[in-house]
């Protein structure tokens, strides 16, 4: 492969820092889960970096950034590459900055911990549980593999969001250390409003080198799967359950029949094909209250509770959180590769009716999957519906109909921040990027407002992560 960058000079400057230039291995590390989207698969399949560089300390990150800045080589950070929108794919080649080996938990206190960005979330939890029976407030369903830095820079929320909301919410990130991309990179300590500059910014304006995050009390979580005779009954129940403040829940999800039976292969024996599921993670001490509450609903049925399974029954069953969020999509894709998905917000307070109307409109083409969350203090839900993909034009049409019907879409078939719809750029965001990455070398191609000065970032849309001006950052 020919490259426009002086990779030999870079390797020389990097000295003892680990690098990899075997094209097959570089290509492997240049990919994330972009292929969930047939659109991104078409657009990004060929993308690869020129070199993988794997720093294991902040000093090494600074060294890499300074060297790449001097040589004009782009740098795309990567945690463990589980993002779904091509966020970690190096569109301009150059260096893939692999942070997975920069991964220690540095300190655990009462209600908080400090870690390096490459730490995998399940491993952080192992340490905080062992230290003082505390656990992460939030994690994606890729808990077992994804890094905390990648979650902050590329994720949004997940397991725990029914109690704590998402990464966008005040208080769910305490402090970040961020390295700039300059001749002499600086370390910025961000707190409060300034956290919005790098949260969900895909690493376009700084490399996170340390995180300080809040912790919650660790409970023993039980998986409970309840079946309902109709989608409406399941949705209404889940919505009301989410509002039961005394019940300690960690995840609350709805999947319409027959998808669970057809796609949750390891659980299939527990799941009648016509059952619409409510899948719950509940603290062990709250299971009986949950079940009593469910018994009030005619036709509801307990299909599984993980604390009552025999060792034989439990063998090989994934945890309930690996049936939810984007694991629902993954399981469907494994059975039917023509499936893709959407990300939808059903705004409070009419979410249950809206879900009914939307699914009546699309029938079997769009299969209902809901994740209940706290959103601006109210219980509502996101949808990650499964879509039986036919053409890109039809996919666009399905999204447009959702928007027309009052359900904003965060488009998972776009790799730029703005078109993805979760992060709104604005003048303050651009001003920060001018300071932190004046040459535009960090993850190029992901922020349209930077690449195209005529881009109208004020234009429409609902954004999950507020613009900096809206968040109060000048
Ligand atoms: C099956 C499946 C289920 C998922 N479920 C969820 C879910 O429930 N919730 C959710 O939010 N997401 C989910 N995701 C998406 C993804 O797994 C998570 O967001 C995850 O936290 C990303 O972490 P990562 O280490 O893989 O990040 P990567 O994919 O490596 O990176 C994500 C982004 O962050 C940037 N980045 C990485 N490290 C740094 C750093 N140190 N500094 C600056 N920028 C950095 C990258 O350039 C990229 O833009 C899911 C994905 C899959 C495949």
Residue-averaged pLDDT of the chain:
95
pLDDT > 70: percent of the chain: 96
Nearest CA to ligand 1 atom 2: 326
Q: Is the CB of 445 under 6 A from ligand 1?
A: no
CA-based nearest residue to 266, from 310, 331, 330: 331
pLDDT tens digits along 377-431: 999 999 999 999 999 999 999 999 999 999 999 999 999 998 887 777 888 889 9
Q: How many Å lie between the centroid of ligand 1 and the Cα of residue 279?
A: 23
Please tell me if the CB atom of residue 80 comes closer than 6 angstroms to any atom of ligand 1: yes
The arrangement of strands across the sheet holding 95-98 comes to 18-20, 51-54, 95-98, 75-78
Question: Which protein residue's CA is at the shortest distance from atom 45 of ligand 1?
Answer: 203
The reported pLDDT for the residue numbered 5 is: 97
Contact, 365 vs 249, CB < 8 A?
no
- Which atom of ligand 1 lies nearest, measured to the CA of 117? 41
CA nearest ligand 1 atom 7, residue:
140
| CB 210 near ligand 1, within 6 Å | no
CA dist., res. 68 & res. 62, Å (int): 10
Please list, in sequence order, all residues whose beta carbon lies within 8 angstroms of the beta carbon of residue 445, skipping any fewer than 6 positions away: 91, 92, 415, 416, 451
Judged by DSSP in three states, 446 sits in: coil
- Which of 189, 228, 230 lies closest to 206 in space, CA to CA? 189
Q: Which residue lies with its CA nearest to atom 19 of ligand 1? A: 155
CB 32 near ligand 1, within 6 Å: yes
Predicted local confidence at residue 459, as pLDDT: 63
User: What is the 73 CA–ligand 1 centroid distance (Å)?
Assistant: 23
Q: Is the CB of 328 under 6 A from ligand 1?
A: no
pLDDT-based confidence at residue 474 (cuts at 50, 70, 90): very low
Question: What are the start-end ranges of the H helices in 176-286?
Answer: 231-242, 259-263
Tell me which residue has its CA closest to atom 8 in ligand 1: 140
- The DSSP secondary-structure symbol of 57 reads S
pLDDT bracket for residue 214 (50, 70, 90): very high
CATH 3.30.465.10 assigned to 105-217: yes
pLDDT at position 288: 98
Query: Which of 67-81, 302-316, 381-395, 423-437 has the lowest average pLDDT?
Result: 423-437
User: How many angstroms is it from 83 CA to the middle of ligand 1?
Assistant: 4
Q: Is the pLDDT of residue 364 over 80?
A: yes
Q: Is the peptide bond before 258 cis (omega within 30 degrees of 0)?
A: yes
- Ligand 1 near 82 CB (within 6 A): yes
Integer Cα distance of 255 and 72 in angstroms: 48
Position 71 pLDDT exceeds 90: yes
156 CB within 6 A, ligand 1 = yes
Closest CA relative to residue 245, chosen from 277, 301, 289? 289
Q: Which residue has the least CA distance to atom 49 on ligand 1?
A: 202
Please name which of 119, 163, 447 lies closest in space to residue 286, comparing C-alpha atoms: 163
State the Cα torsion 355-341-347-244 to the nearest 10°.
80
- Summarised one tens digit per residue, pLDDT across range 6-59 is 999 999 999 999 999 999 999 999 999 999 999 999 999 999 999 999 999 999
Domains 105-217 and 221-404 share a fold: no
pTM listed for this prediction: 0.96
From 229-243, 386-400, 458-472, the region with the lowest mean pLDDT: 458-472
Q: Residue 265's closest CA among 334, 357, 365, 186?
A: 334
Cβ neighbours of residue 201 closer than 8 Å, sequence gap 6 or more: 153, 417, 423, 429, 447
In this structure, which CATH number among 2.60.40.10, 3.40.50.2300, 3.40.462.40, 3.40.190.10 belongs to the domain 221-404?
3.40.462.40
Looking at residue 454, its pLDDT comes to 84
Q: Measured from the CA of 156, which atom of ligand 1 is nearest?
A: 11
Say how far apart CA 69 and CA 152 lie, in whole Å: 24
The answer, yes or no, to whether any atom of ligand 1 lies below 6 A from the CB of 142, is yes
Overall average pLDDT of the 234-250 stretch: 97
DSSP states along 25-44? HHHHHT--SGGGSHHHHHHH
Tell me the mean pLDDT in the region 335-345.
Answer: 96
What is the per-residue pLDDT for 469?
63
Q: What's the pLDDT at 422?
A: 72
pLDDT higher than threshold 60 for residue 450: yes
Residue 353 has pLDDT above 70, yes or no: yes
Domain residues of the chain, as ranges?
7-98, 105-217, 221-404
Closest protein CA for atom 53 of ligand 1: 82
458 has pLDDT over 70: no
**Mean pLDDT across 57-77:** 98
**What pLDDT digit, counting tens, does each position of 119-160 carry?**
999 999 999 999 999 999 999 999 999 999 999 999 999 999
From 3.90.1150.10, 3.30.43.10, 1.10.10.10, 3.20.20.70, which CATH number describes the 7-98 domain? 3.30.43.10
Query: Please, are residues 75 and 55 in contact by the beta-carbon 8 Å criterion?
Result: no
Confidence band of 462 (pLDDT split at 50, 70, 90): low
Residue 401, judged by CB atoms within 10 A of its CB (0-12, 13-18, 19+), counts as middle
CA angle 128, 201, 453 (to 5 degrees): 170
DSSP 213: E
């Amino acid at each position: 492969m020919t490259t426009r960058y002086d990779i030999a000079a870079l390797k020389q400057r990097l000295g003892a820092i680990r690098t990899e230039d075997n094209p097959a291995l570089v290509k492997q590390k240049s990919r994330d889960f972009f292929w969930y989207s047939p659109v991104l698969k078409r657009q990004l399949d060929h993308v690869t970096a020129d070199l993988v560089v794997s720093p294991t300390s902040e000093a090494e990150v600074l060294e890499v950034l300074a060297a790449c800045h001097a040589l004009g080589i782009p740098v795309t950070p990567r945690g463990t590459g589980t993002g779904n929108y091509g966020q970690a794919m190096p569109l301009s080649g150059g260096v893939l900055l692999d942070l997975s080996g920069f991964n220690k938990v540095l300190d655990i206190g009462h209600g908080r911990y400090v870690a390096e960005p490459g730490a995998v979330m399940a491993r952080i939890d192992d340490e905080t549980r062992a230290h003082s029976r505390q656990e992460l407030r939030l994690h994606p369903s890729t808990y077992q593999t994804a890094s905390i830095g990648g979650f902050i820079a590329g994720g949004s929320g997940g397991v725990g969001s029914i109690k704590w909301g998402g990464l966008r919410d005040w208080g769910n990130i305490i402090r970040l250390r961020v390295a700039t991309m300059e001749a002499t990179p600086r370390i910025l300590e961000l707190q409060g409003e300034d956290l919005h500059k790098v949260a969900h910014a895909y690493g376009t304006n700084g490399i996170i080198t340390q995180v300080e995050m809040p912790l919650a009390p660790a409970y023993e979580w039980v998986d409970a799967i309840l079946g309902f005779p109709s989608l409406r009954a399941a949705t209404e129940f889940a919505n009301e359950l989410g509002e039961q403040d005394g019940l300690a829940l960690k995840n609350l999800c709805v999947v319409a029949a027959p998808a669970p039976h057809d796609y949750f292969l390891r659980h299939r024996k527990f799941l009648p094909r016509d059952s619409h599921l409510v899948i719950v993670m509940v603290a062990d001490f709250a299971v009986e209250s949950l079940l009593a509450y469910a018994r009030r609903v005619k036709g509801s049925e307990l299909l599984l509770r993980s604390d009552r399974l025999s060792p034989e029954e439990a063998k090989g069953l994934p945890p309930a959180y690996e049936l939810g969020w984007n694991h629902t999509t993954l399981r469907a894709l494994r059975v039917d590769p023509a499936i893709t998905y959407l990300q939808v917000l059903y705004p409070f307070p009419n979410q249950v009716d809206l879900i009914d109307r939307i699914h009546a409109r699309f029938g079997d083409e769009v299969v209902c999957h809901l994740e209940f969350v706290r959103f601006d203090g109210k219980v509502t839900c996101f949808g990650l519906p499964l879509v039986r993909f036919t053409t890109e034009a039809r996919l666009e049409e399905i999204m447009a109909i959702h928007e027309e019907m009052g359900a904003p879409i965060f488009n998972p078939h776009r790799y730029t921040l703005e078109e993805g719809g979760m992060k709104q750029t604005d003048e303050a965001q651009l001003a920060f990027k001018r300071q932190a990455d004046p040459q535009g070398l960090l993850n190029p191609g992901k922020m349209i407002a930077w690449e195209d000065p005529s881009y109208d970032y004020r234009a429409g849309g609902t954004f999950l992560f507020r613009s900096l001006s809206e968040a109060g950052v000048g």
